[in-house]
Amino acid sequence: MIDSRIRNIVIVGGGTAGWMAAAAFAKVLGADYSIRLVESEEIGTVGVGEGTVPHLKLFNNLLGIDDVEFVKNTQGTFKLGVQFNDWGRLGDSYVHGFGTIGHDVGLLPFHQYWIKARQMGRAADIGAYSLNTVAAPRGRFMPSATDAPPGSPLANVAYAYHFDAGRYARYLRGYAEQRGVCRTEGKVAQTVLHPDSGFVEAIVLESGEQIDGELFIDCSGFRGLLIEQALHTGYLDFSHWLPCDRALAVACEKVGPPTPYTRASARPAGWQWRIPLQHRTGNGYVYSSAHVSDDEATATLLGHLDGKPIGEPRLLRFTTGVRRQAWNRNVVALGLAGGFMEPLESTSIYMIQSGIARLLNLFPQRDFSPVLIERYNAQSRFEYEHIRDFLILHYHATERDDTPFWNQCRTMSIPPQLIDNIRLFRDSGRFFRDGEEMFAVVSWVQVMLGQHIVPQNYHPLVDQMPDAELAEFMASVGHVVTSCVDAMPPHQAFIDRCCRASALVA
């Protein structure tokens, strides 16, 4: 039989996307495959501090990377969720926490019972019933406790990370090179296409070296050297709904213990992130250039830092959207080369991870079956569009009309599916997750309630629980959550005890 397996994989671009791909391919595909990564030290990477979602634990587990080792090597901290300030109204603050809210009863989610109890005046804000949303502002953290009784919130603590993306990429580089990945320093000067099929046959570096391949992974960032510049794939622009098109990023000196959450504070023409690491804090202002100048945005960012800035703010220009095909011919785009969802819910690294997993599940042979490519692209588009709608929700579900930017977001048209989701939730608190979309029901519920989309009614089955029992149920859940948070150590104390980075970490 003819061996039709792909043997030669070329990754163009390093950074987080390139080295995540290299590490995963080396681990899963093994020594039978030649994996070569081409990058240039002269080309910078995006990111001064990254937030993630809990899915990254699965990726690290696949590679066999220990939590403690990971956090130490990346100067990382832990993340229980995102605190949103001034989004629905000026003065608002709520936490979109990972994990669960309360616990479900029968067929109904907890928040259905909360709606009725709230209408009765017998319930606190929804955040009072989630371990993460109570622990985060109190600065408490611990991973799941192996000795916690079944059903205890401490038995299953959902968390993600804040970390230095540059350190993560360097760590993964070492991991990948130890497993046979070959790194080549250089800039791509030319892409060689097959005259008939249009497939990429090779890349030519500025040095003149030609690197042949069968499968090419484009991790070249916004430039999209292969997917766009060579294959002219096209781009779907989402900026009608997500109008921010620039970001300024700067680190500042650490002030006080790191918070176990990302902070996203609404500003006059966008929002500002704050991501605490062990040794410094990452900050950025994501904004619309149609509503504020770069100089004004810089002043706003620098005026809201906790500590002294480290260096000058770096300006990033982007158009939120996605390639029309993430996989075109024999090129698969990962990271910024494949699309960009602004960092509001920390989905960028998740999308890299998801793209890698999808490619491994649909890994082709040398014939590059169009059936596999079509499924990959359909799933990729599905994921981007559903994340897009969740991000739009944050902007559109606002009562703010104090600046032109927020008035535009409040009054803009939104995708039909998002309209339906908001209408259904406002009617009776119901939400149905669409297949394998990234964000679960609890995420949508927290953001909609946090930004004043209040259900007018609740599911009629809630009335099967007597009112007195309902009040007792809510009080019990709130008490359990508070007691569990009281038992958690301070975030800084946990880091100091378990995963403090060595002063020798570069």
Closest CA to 153 of 98, 93, 113: 98
C-alpha span between 187 and 189 (Å, rounded) = 6
Q: What 8-state DSSP symbol labels residue 140? A: B
C-alpha span between 52 and 275 (Å, rounded) = 10
* Active-site option among 27, 57, 72, 79: 79
What are the structure tokens assigned to 85, written together? 């300030």
C-alpha span between 175 and 14 (Å, rounded) = 14
Partner residues linked to 10 by β-bridges: 36, 216
C-alpha span between 247 and 472 (Å, rounded) = 47
Question: What DSSP element (H or E) covers 236?
Answer: strand 235-237
C-alpha span between 337 and 323 (Å, rounded) = 8
Establish whether 116 is a catalytic residue. no
Closest CA to 9 of 348, 363, 268: 363
**CB-based contact 91:84 (threshold 8 Å):** no
3-state secondary structure 475-493: HHHHHHHHHHHHHCCEHHH
Which residues contact residue 468 at a Cβ distance below 8 angstroms, ignoring those fewer than 6 apart? none
3-state secondary structure 99-131: CCCCCCECCECHHHHHHHHHHCCCCCCHHHHCH
**CB-based contact 315:302 (threshold 8 Å):** no
What are the structure tokens assigned to 107, written together? 């067929």
The residues that are catalytic are: 79
